[in-house]
Amino acid sequence: MNILSSDKDSMDDLILDYLNHQLSEPELSELLKWINASDANKSYFNEIQDIWKTSIYSDYSFDSLSAYQRFKKWVFLNHKKKPASFSIAIRWAAAIGLLIFSLGALSFYFLNNWKQKSDNNQYTLYVPYGAKMRMELPDKSVVWLNAGSTLRYAQNFGKANRQLFLEGEAYFDVTKNPALPFVVNTEQLSVKVLGTKFDVEAYTEDKQLNVTLLRGSVHITTAYQPNQTLTLAPNQRAVIDKTNHNVEVKEVNGELSMKWTQGQIVFDEELFGEIICQLEREFNVTIDVKRPELNNLHFYGNFRYAQSIEEIFDIITANNDFHYIKKGNKITVY
Whether residues 119 and 24 fall in one domain:
no
**Does 127 lie in the same domain as 225?**
yes
162 and 246 housed in the same domain? yes
- Together in a domain, 148 and 246: yes
pLDDT in tens, the chain (334 residues): 344 444 556 787 788 777 655 667 678 778 888 888 888 888 888 777 666 655 444 333 344 444 445 544 555 555 544 444 444 444 444 444 444 333 433 433 333 333 334 455 788 888 888 888 888 999 999 999 999 999 999 988 998 899 999 999 999 999 999 899 999 999 999 999 988 999 999 999 898 999 999 999 999 999 998 889 999 999 999 999 999 999 999 999 999 888 888 888 888 778 888 888 888 888 889 998 888 888 888 877 778 766 788 888 888 877 677 788 888 888 888 7
Domain count, the chain: 3
Q: CATH number, domain at 146?
A: 2.60.120.1440
Domain limits for position 91? 5-101
Domain co-membership, 55 together with 190: no
Q: Which amino acid, residue 132?
A: K
pLDDT, residue 55, reads 47
101 contacts: CB under 8 Å, gap ≥ 6: none
CATH of residue 279's domain is 3.55.50.30
Please check whether residues 115 and 253 belong to one and the same domain: yes
Tell which of 79, 101, 123 closes a domain. 101
Say whether both 12 and 93 belong to one domain: yes
Does 271 share its domain with 246? Answer: no
Residues 110 and 168 in one domain: yes
Tell whether 235 and 321 lie within a shared domain: no
Which of 258, 283, 305 delimits the end of a domain? 258
Residues 6+ apart with CB under 8 A from 251: 235, 236
Q: Are residues 288 and 276 in the same domain?
A: yes
C-alpha pair distances (Å), 97 with each of 55, 93, 109, 222, 281: 10, 6, 12, 43, 27
CB of 83 closer than 8 Å to CB of 75: no
Where does a domain end: 203, 237, 258?
A: 258
pLDDT score recorded for residue 20: 58
Q: What is the pLDDT of residue 248?
A: 92
Do 237 and 267 sit in the same domain of this protein?
no
